[in-house]
Amino acid sequence: MKFMRIFVLIVFGLLLLIAIGSLPGFGTWGNREVALYYIENGAHDTGSASLVNAIVWDFRGYDTMGEETVLFTAALGVFLIMRRKQYGYYRKVRK
């Protein structure tokens, strides 16, 4: 039964990836103007020695902050679930 659930999840995930990849705008380099601007002016506009750092932290700072917030929230959720599993859902209250 557990194998069947995992199999269905994998098949569903693959079908979802195929569906998203076939949509217009996904899987293609759609916005070349922005990418070319980053490549040509990134080092000069930010003063950074690394173009990757310039893009991630200067041009896309809010996006990066949002991704880190989601990652932190997911890690906190996993920690709380594991803690609940270790100590039990209901704790006995002493009277």
* Reported pTM: 0.45
Burial 1-16 (b: 16+ CB within 10 A, else e): eeeeeeeeeeeeeeee
**Within-domain flag for 44:** no
**Within-domain flag for 3:** yes
**Two structure tokens written together for 39:** 């490549």
**Within-domain flag for 17:** yes
**Within-domain flag for 62:** no
Q: Which domain holds residue 11?
A: 1-25
**Within-domain flag for 1:** yes
- For the chain, what is the domain count? 1
> What mean pLDDT comes out for the span 13-33?
70
Please give the share of the chain, as a percent, with pLDDT higher than 90. Answer: 11
- Cα–Cα distance list, 52 to 13, 48, 64 (Å): 30, 9, 12
Q: Express each pLDDT in 81-92 by its tens digit.
A: 888 776 666 566
**Within-domain flag for 11:** yes
